[in-house]
Amino acid sequence: MAQADRRTGRGATRAIIDIGSNTLRLVIYGGPMRAPAVLHNEKVTARLGKGVAENGLMGPRACAAALAALARYRALLSLKGVDRVDVVATAAVRDAINGRDFLASVAALGFSPRLLSGEEEAVTSAHGVLGAFPGATGVVGDLGGGSLELVDVENDTCRHGVSMPLGTLRLGGLRATGDRAFGQTVAKALKKADWAAEPGSTLYLVGGSLRAFARYAMMRMEWPIDDPHGFTIDPANALRIATTLARRKPETLPPLQGISSARMNALPDTAALLAVLIRRLQPGALVFSAWGLREGLLYEDMPAGVRGQDPLVAGMSAFVQDLGIPAHIGVMVAGWTVAASATNGAERRERLRLAATMLCLAAATVEPNLRGDIARDWALRKRWIGAATTERVMLATAIMAHAGRLDVPPALAALIPPASIRQAQAWGLATRLCRRFSTCAPQGLSDSQLLVENGRLVLAVQPALAALVNDGVERDLRTLAAHLGLKAEMR
């Protein structure tokens, strides 16, 4: 069994192999159970579903490519000492005439493959969304190479999961008859599956092709964040972009960093399907998720106590601990600075404030000339499970304030209310004051206190720590007090 890092447990602990209709992917996970870290991620494009869509059989070349990839994965897992491996197969193997023979060949490599039914695939993907967006309510749509899964989610439960033969490998052929006929085909598939959504529901979208669409939409909208996880768009805007994109030829599309040519080639077909779904399901909002089937398998194995943890705080704690910031120090600093977070009637966002505090402390470990860019990238580009777009912007704003910058770029400022900007800046300025005064040493935190009394921001210090108060500390106290509309006082 692979050994985990003594501090964070980020060592390889589990692997999942997803045998999909288009690709076979191996992901090795480590880190905290509630916010697993991806330690290794690779895929092979075998296109098992292409032959299934054409004649019901997975072709010999596709099977050979898939089995060669699986043999490599088996060897890699052996080298890394990972012995907990889940292998799941989905639509292509499920629908193929020679699916059983293929699974026997997979088992001969030393794996124990599990063939998911259409409903199981839908529910497992939905569990991934529930893991990424606690309390999610609405519809989960997972688009793969061979199929489209839809399932209702509410109160951490799933119901009415269906799988329809509308995967990206099939869409080109279905669209060849024209847009009107294509729309009718999708409508018939929904009717056959006896599936409809409550108008106004949130539509959570899963799958690489849908995330590629999100990246395209973000580019068109000049979105200042490039991670599609958590990207939210209103249906009217999404429909406008999808309708225009569906008419484009793949070769005319501008390249998108990190998006493969195969994904780009499938983008117009994906957009055409999404446009039909928006018209038929009438969602209130579209939210894109990087968590789906594989993460759903992880979520299903989490004990109830782990599921109840906040994924943002769990992931942030592991991240900063790798940089030498113990999570309990972040909690202590957040407690020390709490008075600066609850003024002017600001909404309490304690989970986010704790995450911002820890990220600010981690930013201080980076050499000064790199802090601004790296800290900004941590907030805006690193994939934080459990953080919405507005929360990412608040993390970035807090880090910039911690570095002494109160000028928020207009593209970011446009995404959150001014009150939220000021609140996040207060978090960063308060953490800066704490770090300057005490270096966040436990004794320094326990023998001092930050208070708000009668319109004053008071830093109360035990006499033994008086020498820690210098010009820089007093300056940071005045800056924070002025930001909060208070007067500064040392006591």
Cα-based torsion angle of the residue sequence 407, 410, 412, 417 in order, rounded to the nearest 10 degrees: 90
What pLDDT was estimated at residue 170? 93
Mean pLDDT, the chain, whole residue set: 93
What pLDDT was estimated at residue 190? 92
Average pLDDT over residues 415-442: 95
Tell me the C-alpha distance between 394 and 268, whole Å.
34
Share of the chain above pLDDT 70, in %: 97
Is the pLDDT reported for residue 345 higher than 60?
no
Average pLDDT over residues 116-143: 96
Is the pLDDT reported for residue 9 higher than 90?
no
Question: Tens of pLDDT along 220-266?
Answer: 999 999 899 999 999 999 999 999 999 999 999 998 988 888 899 99
What pLDDT was estimated at residue 251? 93
Which DSSP category does 148 fall into? E
Is the pLDDT reported for residue 116 higher than 60?
yes
Q: Which residues contact 358 (CB under 8 A, 6 or more apart)?
A: 316, 317, 319, 320, 325, 327, 330, 334
Closest to 396 in 3D by CA, of 169, 406, 62: 406
Question: Tens of pLDDT along 137-162?
Answer: 999 999 999 999 999 999 889 988 99
Is the pLDDT reported for residue 313 higher than 80?
yes
Is the pLDDT reported for residue 450 higher than 90?
yes
Phi-psi region of 475 (alpha: psi -120 to 50; beta: other; left: phi over 0): alpha
- Give helix 261-281 / helix 168-175 axis angle, nearest 10°: 70
What pLDDT was estimated at residue 5? 42
Q: How confident is the model at residue 195 (pLDDT cuts 50, 70, 90)?
A: confident
Strand 202-206 to 157-164 pairing: unpaired
Share of the chain above pLDDT 90, in %: 87
Give CATH for domain 311-490: 1.10.3210.10
Question: Tens of pLDDT along 263-286?
Answer: 999 999 999 999 999 999 999 999
Domains of the chain: which residue ranges? 14-115, 119-295, 311-490
Domain at 119-295, CATH homologous superfamily: Exopolyphosphatase. Domain 2 (3.30.420.150)
Do 102 and 46 form a contact (C-beta atoms < 8 A)? no
Backbone angles phi, psi at 90, to 5 degrees: -125, -135
What pLDDT was estimated at residue 154? 93
Which DSSP category does 448 fall into? E
Average pLDDT over residues 5-31: 82
Hey, what CATH topology would domain 14-115 get? Answer: Nucleotidyltransferase; domain 5 (3.30.420)
What pLDDT was estimated at residue 368? 84
Sole residue written with tokens 């050499």? 367
Q: Decide which of 376 and 288 is more confident.
A: 288
Tell me the C-alpha distance between 120 and 364, whole Å.
45
Burial class (CB in 10 A: 0-12, 13-18, 19+), 131: buried
What pLDDT was estimated at residue 422? 95
- What is the separation, in whole angstroms, between the first and last Cα of the chain? 55
Q: Decide if 14-115 and 311-490 have a common fold.
A: no
CA 208 to chain centre: 13
Question: Tens of pLDDT along 21-37?
Answer: 999 999 999 999 999 99
Is the pLDDT reported for residue 1 higher than 70?
no
